[in-house]
Amino acid sequence: MTDAAECSFRCLVLDAVDAPALAAFWAGVMGRPVSDEGDDGLLIRAADDPERELLWVDRVPEERSGRTRVRLDLQLPAHDVAPLLAAGARLVSTPRDGAQWWVLEDPEGNELTAMPPPPPELHVPPVDAPTPYELVVDAADPHALAQWWAERTGGASRRRTTTSFSWVEGAAAFPYLFWMFVPETAPRTVKNRMHWDVVLRDADPTALVAAGAAVLREPAPGTDWWVLADPEGNEFCAFAPTSA
């Protein structure tokens, strides 16, 4: 983490009613094993770096309702989503209207996008199995929210003048290729089923709160982290350096 970063990305977390089944789906899709970390948490690690945490799946009691505003997109090894469907995903839409991706849902209804292999000029390494490619966050003001997270994580916010989305490059410890913020005008109605955790630079989230984050829950016995919300209400957990 650089001195400019108030926090670094720790991991992505997905809530699930049936955590073992959902973790098995995501691990099977990515060709990775599942590690039982206790406390109802199941972890999938990266193939190229066992210390890099790709996805946590946590058990929660409540069923999902409404559409989440955070999703994980996958890069495919070929122009084929059959392996995802065989693993239990549901096809929502096929590539159309100029789009090159498939929209699917995992077994608990969480939306995901499957991207075909990118063109050679992008110099993106090929993959052997569906692999997390980008984290996508719906936002009322994607440019402002991307800028906010770039400033918090020591990254840089990027955008093209011809597009309505922004992305963050160089966020501290960010494990995927892109952190995208895309426009969504519908109001937030439910808590996101997918959220991210961060590790604080300081002992507490004072700097994040001063920048516009809201404290939703303080640490308590058995939960040594803060639950915060960014300026658009996306919940995230913040861990002190000593507890991460």
**Whole-angstrom Cα distance, residue 87 to residue 65?**
23
Domain covering 21-191, topology: 2,3-Dihydroxybiphenyl 1,2-Dioxygenase; domain 1 (3.10.180)
pLDDT at residue 212 in the model: 98
Report pLDDT digits (tens) over 204-241.
999 999 999 999 999 998 889 999 999 999 999 999 99
- Tell me: the pLDDT tens digits for 91-133? 999 988 767 889 999 999 999 999 998 888 878 888 888 888 8
Q: How confident is the model at residue 40 (pLDDT cuts 50, 70, 90)?
A: confident
Q: At 244, is the pLDDT very low, low, confident or very high (cuts 50, 70, 90)?
A: low
Phi-psi region of 70 (alpha: psi -120 to 50; beta: other; left: phi over 0): beta
pTM for the whole structure? 0.92
The more confident residue out of 21 and 41 is 21
Q: Round to whole Å and give the CA distance between 47 and 106.
A: 21
Whether the pLDDT of residue 72 is over 70: the answer is yes
- Which is nearest to 169 in space by CA: 9, 6, 3? 9
- Say if CB 138 and CB 69 are below 8 A apart: yes
pLDDT at 243: 65
Say what percent of the chain tops pLDDT 90: 65
State the first-to-last Cα distance of the chain, in angstroms, to the nearest integer.
13
Element (H, E) at 209: helix 206-211
